[in-house]
Every structure is written in structure tokens, then in C-alpha cells.
Chains A and B, each alone.
Chain A
Amino acid sequence: MYLKFWGASLIILAAYFFGHNISSMYRNRVCQLEELLLGLEMFLTEITYGLTPLPQAFINIGKKLKDPVGRLFSDTAWIMQKSRGLSARECWKKALKNNSGALEFFGGGLELLDRLGFIWGKGDKSGQLRQIALMQELLRQAHREAQQDYQKNEKMWKYLGLLGGLTLVIFLI
């Protein structure tokens, strides 16, 4: 009897955490998009008031943002300084690959992250400011969609996990 009780509890717990994990993916995506938007805002400040070189600007931004978005900026700066001969796009792409496990930019967000690589450090100041403003607009749109997805799916996945576990236990008993 005890064995059955502990087994059922384990199944319900595992199913609950499975659902919880999926729902937290939606929450993380919203948080990470917010961090990225904040990073772009910081970058605008760095180039508007300081004309800070890109690697230094990325180090500064990386220190202020939460991981994994902060680490994405820091890693890009590190790659730029260590791997002579890579373009800014290639450095960003490499850092993205290194941090892909922790980033929750599924859907349109991932494509936007990739597109960011094409604009870093390209063109004169006014061109760069325009490109960043456009990316901010696209990211805000992605953030709105991510928030809607989060509100829609968060509770559903938590309940689905719990109820799925319970259903499985009933079937097994």
C-alpha cells in the first residue's frame, strides 16, 4: 500500500513539474525579451553619449543584464576580442550558439535574435540608431505576443501537468 502511495505521489509530482517547466518556458521568454529590450536601450545610450566601441559596450551591457541575455552580450564581446578575423555577425552567432540551451527565444524571437547579428556596428551613427530603433519595435511586438502566449498557456500547462499525472495514477491503480 505504501509503495503504491509513494509511486502515485512520484508520478503526480513528475507530471506537475513537467507542466511547470513548460509554463516557465513561456515566462522566461517574456523576461528574456524584456532583458534584450533593456540591452538595446543601453546600447543606444552607449553609442549616443559615449561612442563606446562595440566590444566594450557589450561588456558593459553584459554586466548589467541578467543571464542568459547578459551572458550573450559578454560572450560576444569576448569572442570579438579573442578571435581576430571574425565579423560582428559571426561573433554574435557563435555566442548565440554557446547560449542556445538557456535562451527561450522560440518562434519569431529566435529569428529576431539572429537578425540582430547583421546590424551590430554597421553603418554610421544615425544609421545604427535607426537600425536599433527598428529592432526595438520588432522586439516589442514579439514581447507583446510572448506575453499573450504566457497568459494563455501558463495555467493551462500547470493544470495539464497535474491533471495528467492524476489521470495516469487512476489508470494505473
Chain B
Amino acid sequence: MRDAAYNIKKQIGHFLAPKVRLIIENLPDELLEKTEEIRLRHSRPLIIFWAGGESYLSEKGPVPTPREAYLTDGEDLEKTLDLLSNYSLYAYEEELRQGYLTIPGGHRVGLAGRAVLEGGRIKVLRDISSLNFRVARQVKGVGEKVLAFIFDRRMGRIMHSLIISPPQGGKTTLLRDLARLISEGTGILGQAGKKVGIVDERSEIAGCYQGIPQLDVGFRTDVLDACPKAEGVMLMLRSLSPQVIITDEIGRGEDVNAIEEAIHAGVSVIASAHGSSLEEICQRPILGGLLLKNYFERLIFLSNSRGPGTLEMIIEGERGLPLYSSRQGGE
């Protein structure tokens, strides 16, 4: 059995209500191999999604129309939630507030339901009516090409880099692989790996379950899971002496301040941000301000044009010189 299919059946299947689990387990491996999401919605058809497509599922397997599909009911959702929370939703208050939880294997389960507010902010989600199982995939080796551009051979250091792409563009996958490569040391680094600190606010990079990384982020890597970026970066600097700090989706003022602190402390920073072009990023008040200060030495652009994680362009931060373009294919 292939990796992803095995993971879905064993790791995700373990948390599904029996009826849904049976349907998923009976799917052909070829279909599971490309599955990215499994969607359970109250009184709605059971659907799986993959890049560029979706399948409605019934007890007999994939069916062409939603009418023939298995309708997920309240009991399926109740049982799945019981299994996900080990019958203890009260112990997952923070996850219910954030709207997701992580399961072994680093897979994430998105939740939707009725939001209970306190002081205008979400306090907790109740009456959960939708569950979205997002299959975690580690693509080893995707960072090798980028690493060659962000490693300063002369100084033996990693350059401050910002990875920019639209949602689902492969930022997190690239960050994870860069963490692994830098932590373990590769031929390109030509030396032992470096101490890496990951501030993983949404548990996406390392896919931690109960604080333990479920995905390979290297053996010299420390992960601060579910920790706000600003606080996490400062904590890393104070107590874990990282040489490289990796974090995702920066955008708030306090994130930027913490990143400035790290850069001034001599720690290399690799971060990611949503966006599709340099112009768009520059127009954003906080992120644009950070770019104007020329802290980032490398800007890496990804897209979905030839599948998630397509490396479009790498430019030199200060002067804006293109170092790599997918059209030219090299430096």
C-alpha cells in the first residue's frame, strides 16, 4: 500500500465514525493517494477533494452525483468528534476556539459550527456541523533547489528569506523541507546542520500532536507548537539559541516586531506570507513596511501554475534583482 493511502486508512480512519470509516477504507488506493481533504457535513454528501477534483462517496465507492452519495448524519459527526477529542471536548477549548485540531500523523481537522462570542471575539465553537480532514503530506526534497539560493556559502549562514504565494501554494511544505534540510545539514550546506527553531502557531509546519512533531523537520529542530508568533520568536531567542527561526504567515504588527528582534540578534529568519506578487505585498501596510526596510535578503515566489509549490521566482531582496525565474529556469 502507498504512503498516503496507508496514512488515510490507519491514521485518519482511526478517528472516523464507523460508517464513514468503512466507506473510506473501501476506496481504491489510487484515489486515496491523491486525496487532500475528506469533508463531513451534517446532512450533506460525503466528499473527498484532491487537486483539481472531487468525488462523492457512497457505501459502494465513488458515485457520479451527490444524490447517490452517503449523507453524513449527526451521529457520524458526534462519534467522529468523540473520537477526535477522546470523549473530552472540554479539554480542547483552545482548539475549539481556533477552529481546528491536529491528530497523529500531523493531519489537521478543521471545524465549523456555531461560534460563541465573548467581547467580540470567538470564545468557542459549539454545535459542530462540519469537519474537514486535511491530509498532511511531506514532500521531501522540495527545498533543495531553494536552499541553494538562500545559503550564503561565504559566510556559512542562511539568508533572511520570505516565501510568498497564494493560499495552497506550497509555502508550508517548502518551510517544512527547508527546516529539515537546514537542521540535518545537506551537501549544499557543506557542513553540519544548524539549530532550527520553528514557531508553529497553527501546527501546520511540524504537524505536532501533543507537542511532538509528526512530520520530519530535522533532528536539530525545536518546535514551539500552537504558540503566537510574536511571543514564540522572543521565547526562542531567550532560551533555545536557534541559528535559524522558521515561522509562517506573518502579517500582524507584533509578528514583524519579533522578526526584527530576531534579525538584529543575528538569527536567520525564514518566514512566509500570503500574496501573489511583490507589488501586492508592498501595498500591505505592515508587511510592506518590513520589505521597505530591506531585512529580507531573498524573496521566494511560489504559485499553483504547475501544481502546488511551483517555484516561480527568487529575487534578491535589497535590489530586487531576479536570481531565478521559472521562465528562464536558472540563475
Contacts and interface: CB of A to CB of B under 8 A. Distances in A.
B85 A85 contact: no
Interface string B69-99: 0000001001100110111111101001000
A85 B93 contact: no
B93 A125 contact: yes
A121 interface: yes
A55 B91 CA distance: 12
Interface stretch (B14-22, B36-44, B149-157): B14-22
Contact of B89 (A57, A87, A124): A124
Contacts of A121: 82, 85, 87-90
B252 interface: no
Interface string A86-130: 111001000000000000000000000000000011111101100
26 contacts: A47-B88, A47-B90, A51-B90, A52-B91, A53-B86, A53-B88, A54-B88, A55-B86, A85-B17, A85-B18, A85-B21, A85-B79, A85-B83, A86-B79, A87-B75, A87-B79, A88-B82, A121-B87, A121-B88, A121-B90, A123-B126, A124-B89, A124-B90, A124-B96, A124-B126, A125-B93
A162 interface: no
Given A53-B87, A84-B18, 20 more contacts: A47-B90, A47-B91, A53-B91, A84-B83, A85-B17, A85-B79, A87-B82, A88-B87, A121-B82, A121-B87, A121-B90, A123-B90, A123-B126, A124-B89, A124-B90, A124-B96, A124-B123, A125-B91, A127-B90, A127-B124
Nearest to B13: A84
Nearest to B20: A85
Contacts of A85: 17-18, 21, 79, 83
A67 B14 CA distance: 33
A84 B89 contact: no
Interface of A: 47, 51-55, 57, 80, 84-88, 91, 120-125, 127-128
Contacts of A84: 14, 18, 83
Given A85-B17, A85-B21, A127-B126, A51 B86 contact: no
A120 B87 CA distance: 8
B9 to A, nearest CB: 14
Contacts of A57: 88
Contacts of A125: 90-91, 93
Nearest to A47: B90
Nearest to B17: A85
Contacts of A51: 88, 90-91
A125 B126 CA distance: 11
A59 B325 CA distance: 60
A24 to B, nearest CB: 34
Interface string B85-128: 11111110100100000000000000000000000000110100
- 3 closest A-B pairs by CB: A85-B18, A54-B87, A121-B87
Contacts of B126: 123-124, 127
A168 to B, nearest CB: 53
Nearest to A51: B91
B83 to A, nearest CB: 7
Contacts of A122: 89
A53 B86 CA distance: 7
A54 B82 CA distance: 10
Nearest to A89: B78
A53 B82 CA distance: 11
Interface string B43-74: 00000000000000000000000000000000
Contacts of A87: 75, 78-79, 82
Interface in B251-301: none
A57 B85 CA distance: 14
Contacts of A86: 79
Nearest to B96: A124
B158 to A, nearest CB: 39
Contact of A55 (B14, B75, B87): B87
A87 B124 CA distance: 22
A69 B82 CA distance: 23
A92 to B, nearest CB: 10
